Chain A
């Protein structure tokens, strides 16, 4: 049955791609005395409300959106998660 699903897309810089924003956060944490932070990667969370016939369909359709627009596979990885409830 068709209903609206809440879907999270987490987009992060791909492994090997320099992430200057993450690196700046890491340095700032060091300045604040937080030691032992070896790496920070800064990405974005995109939350969608998607109408679909089931959680799998919502996920599949969101993955298609990621391939086409939401993420750039040359520089970014993404993870799609359909939220419960």
Chain B
């Protein structure tokens, strides 16, 4: 499996994802610069956490129009496995690849601590390594993580079992106290209707190596590996052989 990690100016969890993939799984990962338009044949695209473009205007709003996002949107719409973590989730919502939006935490505080998560749907390419109802401890670190959407959208997402993770207390109950940001219905992560795009506010990559004290989050990456091995998703197109064609054209076009 080859994982492409998009780097926007202000991304700061890119290296964490890189190590989760390379050290946690022993698979290959590569960074994709936001100005590039080449996904380099990767099997999975990750939009990592951070503060792309300083979170100016709205979190994720400017990054959504980065040159690479055209390719990412085509890849994701075509069934490519796409994971947005924290700021990456915000970018996916701004790009309308996922419904709803992420706004300022209800209590206005930047929340940076572990939360309890319950796996609501273990049938996705991101969660097959877990069982439904599994309780995980995963860190959050965000100021704008309150998931909001129209009630009808929330109902649809729930009915289609697209809520993948929910904030819960240690007994696994989705209480108000366990909700760190005021997200509608304690939603921490959702997938699109086709199930190949996941956005979540918590950071599974930060709990993916034993040296980090906890590996609860590694299951997301193990699930992706299994999904790719099963032929789910698709590989991004290799870079077009533009250089060679351009060179040939340039020679043919020489007139004096």
Task: Give A contacts to B, CB under 8 Å.
Answer: 13, 17-18, 20-21, 24, 69-70, 72, 74-75
B101 contact set on A, CB distance < 8 A: 72, 74-75
Contact B61 A69 (CB under 8 A): yes
Chain B residue numbers with a CB within 8 Å of A21 are 104, 108
A74 & B108 in contact (Cβ 8 Å cutoff)? no
Q: Which residues of A contact B58 (CB under 8 A)?
A: 72
Q: Does B94 contact A (CB under 8 A)?
A: yes
Q: Contact: A72 with B61, CB < 8 Å?
A: yes
Q: How far does the Cβ of A70 sit from chain B's closest Cβ, in whole Å?
A: 7
Top 9 nearest A-B pairs by Cβ distance?
A74-B101, A75-B101, A20-B108, A20-B106, A20-B104, A72-B101, A75-B103, A72-B58, A24-B108
Residues of chain B contacted by A13 (CB below 8 angstroms): 103
- List residues of B whose CB falls within 8 A of some A CB: 57-58, 61-62, 65, 93-94, 100-101, 103-108, 146, 148-150, 182
The answer for the CA separation of A20 and B108 in the assembled complex, in Å, is 6
Which residues of A are found within 8 Å of B107, using beta-carbon distances?
20
Check if B106 sits within 8 Å of A72, measured CB to CB: no
Please tell me if the beta carbons of B108 and A18 are within 8 angstroms of each other in the complex.
Answer: no
Q: Is the CB of A69 within 8 A of B148?
A: no
Q: Is the CB of A17 within 8 A of B148?
A: yes
CB proximity of B161 to chain A, nearest CB, Å: 22
